[in-house]
Amino acid sequence: MAPPPKNRPDTPCVAVCSTLFDDVCRGCGRTATEVSHWVTMSAAEKDAVWIRITREGYPKRQG
């Protein structure tokens, strides 16, 4: 797998959390499980999440 882009943030979080009410966060596109386990996930696991959420149009950053 290729290294992550240099300008990619450490986390997809955009401080618009909705995982309390939604299966997938409206801000970052991660599941509640992915959000809660992010800090312990391996680089490969994080890359897989990043690939999926960017393909789905996340994270939805303001600006």
Tokens of 32: 């509640």
Tell me the pLDDT of the chain (63 aa) as tens digits: 566 777 889 999 999 888 888 899 999 999 999 999 999 999 999 999 999 999 999 998 765
Candidates 62, 6, 3, 56; CA nearest to 34 is 56
In three-state secondary structure terms, 24 is strand
Q: What pLDDT score was predicted for residue 3?
A: 62
Choose among 7, 53, 21: nearest CA to 34: 53
Q: What is the pLDDT of residue 1?
A: 57
User: Could you report how far apart the first and last alpha carbons of the chain are, in Å?
Assistant: 30
* pLDDT of res. 21: 87
Q: In terms of Cα–Cα distance, which of 15, 52, 7 is closest to 30?
A: 52
